[in-house]
Amino acid sequence: AQKITQTQPGMFVQEKEAVTLDCTYDTSDQSYGLFWYKQPSSGEMIFLIYQGSYDEQNATEGRYSLNFQKARKSANLVISASQLGDSAMYFCAMREDNQGGKLIFGQGTELSVKP
């Protein structure tokens, strides 16, 4: 069974608008971490934001925020005020603490920002 599900293979957003990228996860662990990565066309994976399972507040990093709904097992990424440089693949990932430092990645969402 998929542990990380990203249901949107591709998304379009107008420049300067906000966009939400969906991620749901499946784990029976109580202690885990959730991550979002950005992969531009150059290929390098860039770490964006982290949410721990015990964190009560939603994580924010600049224009990125993580909408964490623990009961629904969702960890959506919200990008505010989209820029052309935000066009990239975005991956959601999970670390289960009983599995050490390994990450499980979703299939990714390709975001295209229109001028």
Partner 1 sequence: DVKVTQSSRYLVKRTGEKVFLECVQDMDHENMFWYRQDPGLGLRLIYFSYDVKMKEKGDIPEGYSVSREKKERFSLILESASTNQTSMYLCASSRAGGRREQYFGPGTRLTVT
Shortest distance in whole angstroms from residue 101 CB to partner 1: 4
Question: Residue 96's beta-bridge partner residues?
Answer: 32
Regarding beta strands 60-61 and 64-69, do their DSSP bridges make them parallel or antiparallel, or are they unpaired?
Answer: antiparallel
Q: Out of 20, 58, 74, 107, which residue is the one contacting partner 1 (CB under 8 A)?
A: 107
Does residue 105 bind partner 1 (CB under 8 A)?
yes
* 115: its two tokens: 């001028």
What radius of gyration, in Å, describes the C-alpha atoms of the chain? 14
Query: Which residue do the tokens 């909408």 mark?
Result: 67
User: 112 and 11 in contact (C-beta within 8 Å)?
Assistant: yes
User: 88 and 113 in contact (C-beta within 8 Å)?
Assistant: no
Query: Which residue lies nearer to partner 1 by CB, 78 or 89?
Result: 89
Residue 7-36 contact track with partner 1, rule CB under 8 A, x = bound: --------------------------x-x-
Q: Give the footprint of partner 1 on residues 38-97 (CB under 8 A).
A: 42-47, 50, 52, 91, 95
Coil vs helix vs strand at 72: coil
Q: Out of 5, 22, 74, 103, which residue is the one contacting partner 1 (CB under 8 A)?
A: 103
Contacts with partner 1 by CB under 8 A lie at: 33, 35, 37, 42-47, 50, 52, 91, 95, 100-103, 105-108
